């Protein structure tokens, strides 16, 4: 029996490096609340990302939630239905109505050409998602946001390490959120970060993660507990030294996937070569394929089951659409989202992580080719 292959596998640094990093905690007993390791990690991230303002959080969801609070959004926010639940939940739990815009067929990010028709007097922001680490149409979105005086936020949970013409993906819009969850390209076990332009938000972004506490006897606002602890910061600090090498390994795996699956009519992959022409440096966070059953003769679900029978576990990511979640399906209409619906019903992300190995990529592709 072949060993189980999961869709992803957490990256870890050499354990000796991590143990050395956390050893000081047994001397200081300072485990959270802006400790030495936390501050070191924050500084390393700022240098790596080339950003001025960065705040760390316990996870990406809390980071996004606090962005919404700090920017004082209200009314309606235009966003995508083709995303993880967190994106929409953060909007809804802040008492805001999400207005869903369809996605484009190229890289499955929000369709910037359809946004203006959705803007109303209640719209306060656009919350776009760099799906699979694929950059949104940043230039067009920025133009629209400026034209209508809207805040522009990017859910960059998937996009750590992605750059456009040498500039980090996080340095666009009013604010961007990264997730450092264990399954991401870069992880701190659990964690997240907000990168933002305007210094005016600094006070709220700091205080909101610590109950609104600004000093020993000063609580200036109603806040949350969203602080990153020292053990997570230590993991992030160690993993940051390996993220570029891991992305290089992911790129090689993607190249093999694209080459082998191009032989199967009806399977669409991300056009990474075109990204390079546009100045985009990918992080190869996921490897999504979209299966047209009319050309292949088999469905997405057929591939999912066939791989599973071979101890290979892919993921229908993102399926179902947010608008079809049980908690939302009676509140939103999917009929105006035909491309998102089409992709969601046919998308499958295949296993990818740095030590997956070329042989396993060939085996996965061989199984799919054999179905044709």
> What digits encode the pLDDT tens for the residues 34-54?
999 999 999 999 999 999 999
Q: Which residues pair with 139 in a beta bridge?
A: none
Under the banding of pLDDT at 50, 70 and 90, the label for residue 2 is low
Share of residues in the chain with pLDDT > 70 (%): 99
For residue 2, is it within any domain? no
Whether residues 112 and 211 fall in one domain: yes
Structural domain ending residue among the three candidates 217, 240, 263:
240
Whether residues 103 and 167 fall in one domain: yes
On the question of pLDDT at 1 being above 70, the answer is no
Find the mean pLDDT for residues 24-31.
97
Whether residues 131 and 158 fall in one domain: yes
Share of residues in the chain with pLDDT > 90 (%): 98
For residue 106, is it within any domain? yes
Whether residues 95 and 169 fall in one domain: yes
pLDDT of 3 reads 87
Whether residues 51 and 99 fall in one domain: yes
Under the banding of pLDDT at 50, 70 and 90, the label for residue 372 is confident
Q: Which two tokens stand for residue 290?
A: 């979209």
Q: Which long-range contacts (CB under 8 A, 24 or more apart) does 252-257 make?
A: 252/358, 253/284, 253/287, 253/352, 253/356, 253/358, 253/361, 254/282, 254/284, 254/287, 254/352, 256/358, 256/361, 256/362, 256/365, 257/287, 257/350, 257/352, 257/361, 257/364, 257/365
For residue 118, is it within any domain? yes
Whether residues 228 and 251 fall in one domain: no
Q: Which two tokens stand for residue 231?
A: 């053990």
Query: Which one-letter DSSP state was computed for residue 351?
Result: P
> What digits encode the pLDDT tens for the residues 177-210?
999 999 999 999 999 999 999 999 999 999 999 9
What angle (nearest 5°) sits at the alpha carbon of residue 132, between those of residues 61 and 270? 170
For residue 351, is it within any domain? yes
Structural domain ending residue among the three candidates 178, 209, 240:
240
Helix 60-70 and helix 85-92, axial crossing angle in degrees, nearest 10 = 30
For residue 10, is it within any domain? no
For residue 8, is it within any domain? no
Cα 73 from Cα 94, distance rounded (Å): 8
Q: What is the CATH number of the domain that holds 59?
A: 3.40.640.10
Whether residues 118 and 144 fall in one domain: yes
Whether residues 310 and 328 fall in one domain: yes
Whether residues 265 and 127 fall in one domain: no
Whether residues 120 and 255 fall in one domain: no
Q: What is the CATH number of the domain that holds 339?
A: 3.90.1150.10
Torsion region of 309: left, alpha or beta (phi above 0 gives left; psi -120 to 50 gives alpha): alpha
Whether residues 273 and 167 fall in one domain: no
Whether residues 233 and 259 fall in one domain: no
Structural domain ending residue among the three candidates 205, 240, 275:
240
pLDDT of 78 reads 98
For residue 113, is it within any domain? yes
Q: Which domain holds residue 44?
A: 15-240
Tally of structural domains, the chain: 2
For residue 133, is it within any domain? yes
* Average confidence score pLDDT of the chain: 97
Report pTM.
0.97
> What digits encode the pLDDT tens for the residues 278-328?
999 999 999 999 999 999 999 999 999 999 999 999 999 999 999 999 999
């Amino acid at each position: 029996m072949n060993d189980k292959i999961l869709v992803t596998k957490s990256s870890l640094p050499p354990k000796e490096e991590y143990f050395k990093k956390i050893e000081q905690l047994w001397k200081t007993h300072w485990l959270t609340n802006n400790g030495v390791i936390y501050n070191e990690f924050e500084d390393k991230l700022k240098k790596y990302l080339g950003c001025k303002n960065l705040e760390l959080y316990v996870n990406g969801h809390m980071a996004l939630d606090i962005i919404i609070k700090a920017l004082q959004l209200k009314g309606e926010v235009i966003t995508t239905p083709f995303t993880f639940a967190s994106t929409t939940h953060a909007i809804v739990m802040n008492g805001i109505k999400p207005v869903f815009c369809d996605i484009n067929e190229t890289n499955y990010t929000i369709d910037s050409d359809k946004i203006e028709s959705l803007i109303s007097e209640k719209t306060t922001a656009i919350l776009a998602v760099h799906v699979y680490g694929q950059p949104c149409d940043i230039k067009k979105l920025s133009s629209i946001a400026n034209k209508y005086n809207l805040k522009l936020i990017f859910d960059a949970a998937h996009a750590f390490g992605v750059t456009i013409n040498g500039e980090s993906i996080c340095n666009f819009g009013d604010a961007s959120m990264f997730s450092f969850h264990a399954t991401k390209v870069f992880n701190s076990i659990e964690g997240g970060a907000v990168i933002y332009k305007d210094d005016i938000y600094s006070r709220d972004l700091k205080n909101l993660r610590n109950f609104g506490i600004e000093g020993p006897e000063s609580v200036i606002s109603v806040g949350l507990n969203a602080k990153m602890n020292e053990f997570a910061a230590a993991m992030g600090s160690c993993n940051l030294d390996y993220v570029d090498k891991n992305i290089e390994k992911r790129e090689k795996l993607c190249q093999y996937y694209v080459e082998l699956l191009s032989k199967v009519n009806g399977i669409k992959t991300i056009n990474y070569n075109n990204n390079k022409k546009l100045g985009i440096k990918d992080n190869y966070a996921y490897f999504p394929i979209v299966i047209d059953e009319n050309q292949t003769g088999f469905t997405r679900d057929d591939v999912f089951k066939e791989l599973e029978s071979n101890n290979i576990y892919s993921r229908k990511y993102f399926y179902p659409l947010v608008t079809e979640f049980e908690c939302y399906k009676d509140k939103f209409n999917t009929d105006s989202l035909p491309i998102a619906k089409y992709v969601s019903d046919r998308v499958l992300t295949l296993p990818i992580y740095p030590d997956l190995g070329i042989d396993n990529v060939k085996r996965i592709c061989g199984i799919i080719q054999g179905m044709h």
